[in-house]
Amino acid sequence: MTKAENEYKKGLWTEEEDKILLEYVRVHGRRHWNRISKVTCLERNGKSCRLRWMNYLCPNVKHGEFSEEEDDLIIRLHNLLGNRWSLIAGRVPGRTDNQVKNHWNTHLCKRLGITKQTRKHRVPSKSNRSDVKRTEAVPSSSTCGTLSPSSYQKGAEVQGQGSSLNGLEAQCEGGKHSDPSLLFYDQSFVLDSPHLMEFFDGFDLIM
DNA sequence: AATTGGGGCAACCGCCAGTCC
DNA sequence: GGGACTGGCGGTTGCCCCAAT
């Protein structure tokens, strides 16, 4: 018997709830989040518990302001990966995908002069979401990202195995940005090459 | 002092993929 | 094989705080 969604509490977490969640994780580990409301008095659904743990309670999570180094790393990673926040966060020690996403949207976009393109058109829908996962590297909101020459070059080397980044500059949207160092992605730059994925895995982004 | 508007961030929502039974 | 369950992801929302008026 599962609780109806509306039986679960929503909104900000209290200290008491945090304690309960921490205790659950200490005893049961980070799994079976949906069982929490059954074995504890916590009236939160599994997803909410998982999110709270991942984004706030996990001891590995770093709180506080982002350093310049982190900013730089995120910008580089975003240039390479687009809005794949979990991948980006995986390479920024102590930061979660939610933190990175928020930081990007609230600080870095402004700093880089990127106007946030709210996409009502979510990634194409069901049919080829699995494809999307890999090919989505260049979501619309990042079509105007900056790309440092060094990272561009590294990426291009790998891409050389399959498709290439040739013509990237030509795809710039009518020269919106006058800075010649700015390059643009668009949907033609895809991450569907296994080589490229390996590249990202082994890529030392701290330059 | 009270109000208001914007920024920042935590949390929710909807979707998908993998796993279990 | 297929339905239910669970976890993970990215986009979006809504609340809180604070500065400006």
Tell me which residues from 64 to 123 on chain A have a beta carbon below 7 angstroms from nucleic acid strand C.
Answer: 83-87, 97-98, 101-102, 105, 118-120, 122-123
Q: Is the model's pLDDT at A175 over the cut of 60?
A: no
Q: Are residues A18 and A114 in the same domain?
A: no
> Å between A167 CA and B12 C1'?
40
Residue A2 placed within a domain? no
Residue A45 placed within a domain? yes
Residue A144 dihedral angles phi and psi, to the nearest 5°: -115, 35
Instruction: Kindly determine whether the C-beta of residue A107 is less than 7 Å away from any atom of nucleic acid strand B.
Output: yes
Q: Are residues A50 and A78 in the same domain?
A: no
Please count the structural domains in chain A: 2
Q: Are residues A26 and A94 in the same domain?
A: no
Where is pLDDT greater, at A38 or A153? A38
Q: Are residues A22 and A113 in the same domain?
A: no
Instruction: Kindly determine whether the C-beta of residue A46 is less than 7 Å away from any atom of nucleic acid strand C.
Output: yes
**Whole-angstrom Cα distance, residue A165 to residue A167?**
6
Instruction: Kindly determine whether the C-beta of residue A10 is less than 7 Å away from any atom of nucleic acid strand B.
Output: yes
pLDDT value, residue A202: 52
pLDDT grade for A103, boundaries at 50, 70 and 90:
very high
pLDDT value, residue A195: 47
Q: Are residues A82 and A184 in the same domain?
A: yes
Q: Are residues A79 and A162 in the same domain?
A: yes
Q: Are residues A33 and A93 in the same domain?
A: no
> Å between A162 CA and C13 C1'?
40
Residue A128 placed within a domain? yes
Residue A3 placed within a domain? no
Instruction: Kindly determine whether the C-beta of residue A14 is less than 7 Å away from any atom of nucleic acid strand C.
Output: no
CATH assignment of the domain containing A28? 1.10.10.60
Q: Are residues A94 and A26 in the same domain?
A: no
Q: Is the model's pLDDT at A97 over the cut of 50?
A: yes
pLDDT digits over A19-56, tens only? 999 888 888 888 788 888 888 888 888 889 988 998 88
pLDDT value, residue A100: 92
Phi-psi region of A144 (alpha: psi -120 to 50; beta: other; left: phi over 0): alpha
Identify the domain containing residue A179 by its residue range: 68-202
Name residue A113's amino acid.
Answer: G
Q: Are residues A105 and A140 in the same domain?
A: yes
Residue A62 placed within a domain? no
Q: Of all nucleotides in the shown strands, which has a C1' nearest the CA of A99?
A: B9
Which of A107, A113, A88 has its CA nearest to residue A98? A88
Percent of chain A with pLDDT over 70: 52
Picking from A40-54, A108-122, A135-149, A183-197, which range would have the lowest pLDDT averaged per residue? A135-149
Q: Are residues A49 and A141 in the same domain?
A: no
Picking from A34-38, A56-60, A87-91, A177-181, which range would have the lowest pLDDT averaged per residue? A177-181
